[in-house]
Amino acid sequence: MLGLSIAILILIIWVVALFRQPDMSISILLLFSVIYYDNFISNIQIDLLLKILFLITFIIAGLRIGFVSKYLLTIIPSAFVIYFISIVHTQWTYNYSLVDSITAFTSLIIGLLIFCVNFNKQQELKILNVVSVLAIISLIVGIPLSAVHLVDYFGRDGLALAGASLATNLSFFGTIGVMASETLKNRTNLSRYRWLEYINFLIVCATLTRGGILASILILIPELLNFLKLAVYKTKYLMIFFIGLLASIYPIKLLYNEISKRTFQNGQLNTSGRFDAWNHIIAITNNKWYGNGYGYLKTMTGDTQLAAFTAAHNEYVRSYFETGIIGSTILIIILLSIFYWTLRSRVTKEFSYIIICCMAFLLYAFTDNCITNFRFWIPVMCVFSCMTVQGHSFKIVL
């Protein structure tokens, strides 16, 4: 009953927002995605509903606002080539069906469609503002939900923040929040976005998610270098730097100890089973050129060697397993094309920052499910879309 009530609530708010403004409906769906519904709802798939609504929203938004023709006619057909190549040679099983492959592929298409929508500057700012506070919203919403025992506010045996999400998802929101906040700071020159960057970074650290912490540090490098430059010339910033450094010594020590416990055990590198799982996934790839089929990995629940890795926690390994060398190559070309168009369209002062954001995405994708998990893939593609000065577009008045 609870699941049905939430689904109806989402649909009503989404419909109202969609009739008003497409960017408002996007914001609504992003906000609803901060909750991890599988923790307390089993009778209806809220995540699947959200993905369907995201797909409909971006199609309608593109038709009303405009799709950038060059992007739409390049990356979307390329994505379908990946899909058809992967399923032509697949072997359907009881656990893996056409519906499974389509459901998995839909997540990829949603993210790529976002990049193709020709948002105007005002719409970009609205979307970026929502993305920049998703982690904070998750923490706020998680308080009443945890009070009634619907979610676990702390994850990783009570050591890490999770909010209304899993610790992994909260790290996703925080990392993308750092990216969105830096973009907003560059656009508006407002100092509040600098503090929002730091808040998002602290949230990521509190999740104890190693990939997210590394990606966030990478994104923050330009901001930290700029702050140090200001500290050299301005006493105010120098004082802030030293006070902040002294105040952070103990928290950094605690964080280092917890991360070290997760990373090293008995003097050896601990990747939470990632290396063993990746080697096993690569070894059981039936067709190295075409893969086993898009979305196949998540259906392998009976493989005891995979344990918790039916989500590979590595998009490169997952792509190789499901789409083979050909599909993986096309996917990398799509990503590099998105990065190239984003870089090409921006002014010089944002060039180095955008490169770092691209590197952070590629790094994070090595340790987590940054494409298959829509809670990362959709918000991050919103940010890349809003970073890009869009070109000629076509639209249909609806």
Res 396: pLDDT: 45
What pLDDT is recorded for position 397? 41
In this predicted model, what pLDDT tens digit does every residue of 92-103 receive, in sequence order?
A: 888 888 888 999
What is the tens place of the pLDDT at every residue in 28-84?
999 999 999 876 676 678 899 999 999 999 999 988 888 988 899 999 999 999 999
- Residue 89: name the closest of 312, 330, 310, 289 by CA: 289
Nearest to residue 310, comparing CAs of 338, 332, 280, 339? 280
- What is d(CA 88, CA 288) in angstroms, rounded to the nearest whole number? 14
| Cβ-contact 396, 64 below 8 angstroms | yes
Per-residue pLDDT tens digits for 159-191: 788 999 889 999 999 999 999 999 998 888 888
Question: Residue 259: how many CA atoms within 13 Å on its side-chain side?
Answer: 17
Percent over 70 (pLDDT), the chain? 82
pLDDT band at 297 (very low <50, low <70, confident <90, very high): confident
pTM exceeding 0.85: yes
For residues 172 and 162, give the distance between their C-alpha atoms in angstroms, rounded to a whole number. 11
Q: Please report the pLDDT score of residue 45 as a whole number.
A: 86
**Confidence at residue 371, expressed as pLDDT on a 0 to 100 scale:** 94
Quote the tokens at residue 307: 């344990």
Distance CA(252)–CA(257), nearest Å, equals: 8
Residues forming a β-bridge with 265: 268
Instruction: Note the pLDDT tens digit of each residue in 107-151.
Output: 999 999 999 999 988 999 999 999 999 999 999 999 999 999 888
**pLDDT mean over 330-341:** 94
Q: How far apart, in whole angstroms, are the C-alpha atoms of residue 195 and residue 197? A: 5
Instruction: Kindly state the percentage of the chain with pLDDT values over 90.
Output: 45
For helices 98-116 and 69-88, the axis angle rounded to 10 degrees is 160
Q: What is the pLDDT of residue 168?
A: 92
Phi, psi of 101 (to 5 degrees): -70, -40
Mean pLDDT of 250-266: 59
